[in-house]
């Protein structure tokens, strides 16, 4: 089945630093999404990307849908302590191939105040 | 709050018992999904419904697992004869068509 490789697995940064994480796939997706999950809670949607090459921002977050449709990255600028959590990328093929999401293994972000 | 809700939030059961979880999606959403998440991993797809029809099931969904969405609103996920390997977080998500999927808080199952 499809695999999403997400990197890095973990990051330890100082408050105020910028963060970058990415996700690559062995095959294409038609939609890429980024979620954040806190311990014991469900994933919360951050950004959704629908077109190859698309660059979308949500506050301090910026994400891009790779031109090849096999990758995506997420940047967080000027990190703050509440950015702590696990960030997941997810890919979706779409109507003709099912609407299930395929998730990466997550990036654990720690922000030191 | 009109987000996705799941009950119970936590369930501890003994091996061999049956358990049932409930998911209430966002009211106008016609698609409802079930995922399973084990520690240190991303969620894995189990099954999804469009209205009351179950349209796709993962190979992860063994014959001990059954899901229903009888009136196209809430859904239940039942696990029969639970095994220790069933211990996980069970997540429900909903969407309108192929729009973004929004997740509930999950049900944490522990099988002892």
Which residues in chain B have their CB less than 8 angstroms from residue A99's CB? 31, 33, 48, 56, 95, 98
Tell me the residues of A at the B interface, defined by beta carbons under 8 Å apart: 4, 6, 31, 33, 35, 40-45, 48, 88, 90, 92, 94-95, 98-106
Give the model's pLDDT for residue A96: 58
Each residue's pLDDT tens digit, A78-90:
999 999 999 999 9
Are A45 and B33 inside 8 Å of each other by CB? no
pLDDT at A110 > cutoff 90? yes
Are B100 and A45 inside 8 Å of each other by CB? yes
Find the largest Cα–Cα distance for chain B: 38
Q: Which residues of A82-96 are buried (b: 16+ CB within 10 A; e: fewer)?
A: ebebbbbbbbbbeee
Q: Is residue B97 exposed (0-12), middle (13-18) or buried (19+ Cβ within 10 Å)? A: exposed
Distance CA B65, CA B45 (A): 13
Within 13 Å of residue A76, how many CA atoms lie on the same side as its CB?
Answer: 26
Mean pLDDT, rounded, for A22-37? 95
Mean pLDDT, rounded, for A18-28? 95
- Do A65 and A50 meet the contact criterion of CB atoms below 8 Å apart? yes
Each residue's pLDDT tens digit, B92-106:
999 998 889 999 999
Phi, then psi, of A65 in degrees rounded to 5: -95, 115
Mean pLDDT, rounded, for A45-63? 96
Residue A23 CB partners (closer than 8 Å, separation 6+): A4, A5, A6, A7, A32, A71, A72, A73, A89, A91, A104
Mean pLDDT estimate for chain A: 94
Residue A61 CB partners (closer than 8 Å, separation 6+): A34, A46, A47, A74, A75, A76, A77
Q: pLDDT tens string for chain B (112 positions)?
A: 589 999 999 999 999 999 999 999 999 999 999 999 999 999 999 999 999 999 999 988 889 999 999 988 999 999 999 999 999 999 999 999 888 999 999 999 999 9
Give the model's pLDDT for residue B98: 84
Q: How confident is the model at residue A3 (pLDDT cuts 50, 70, 90)?
A: confident
Structure tokens belonging to residue B50: 């469009």
Neighbours of B10 (CB within 10 A): 11
Give the model's pLDDT for residue A111: 96
Helical spans, DSSP H, in chain B: none
Give the model's pLDDT for residue A1: 52
Give the model's pLDDT for residue A2: 58
Give the model's pLDDT for residue A97: 57
Give the model's pLDDT for residue B2: 81
Nearest Cα to Cα of residue A104 among A40, A43, A41: A43
Are A103 and B42 inside 8 Å of each other by CB? yes
């Amino acid at each position: 089945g499809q695999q999403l490789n997400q990197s890095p697995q973990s990051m330890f940064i100082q408050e105020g630093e910028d963060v970058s994480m990415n996700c690559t796939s062995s095959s294409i997706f038609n939609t890429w999404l980024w979620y954040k999950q806190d311990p014991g809670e469900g994933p919360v949607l951050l950004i959704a990307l629908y077109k190859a090459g698309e660059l979308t921002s949500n506050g301090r977050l910026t994400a891009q849908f790779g031109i090849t449709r096999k990758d995506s990255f997420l940047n967080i600028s000027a990190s703050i302590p509440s950015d702590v959590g696990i960030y997941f990328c997810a890919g979706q093929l779409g109507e003709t191939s099912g609407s299930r999401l395929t998730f990466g293994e997550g990036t654990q972000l720690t922000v030191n105040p | 709050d009109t987000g996705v809700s799941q009950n119970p939030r936590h369930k501890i059961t003994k091996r061999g018992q049956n358990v049932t979880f409930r998911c209430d999606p966002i009211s106008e959403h016609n698609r409802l999904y079930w995922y399973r998440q084990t520690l240190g991993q991303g969620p894995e797809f189990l099954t999804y419904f469009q209205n009351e029809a179950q349209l796709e099931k993962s190979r992860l969904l063994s014959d001990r697992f059954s899901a229903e969405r009888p009136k196209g609103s809430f859904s239940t996920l039942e696990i029969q004869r639970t095994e220790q390997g069933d211990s996980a977080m069970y997540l429900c998500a909903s969407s309108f068509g192929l729009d973004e999927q929004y997740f509930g808080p999950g049900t944490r199952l522990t099988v002892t």
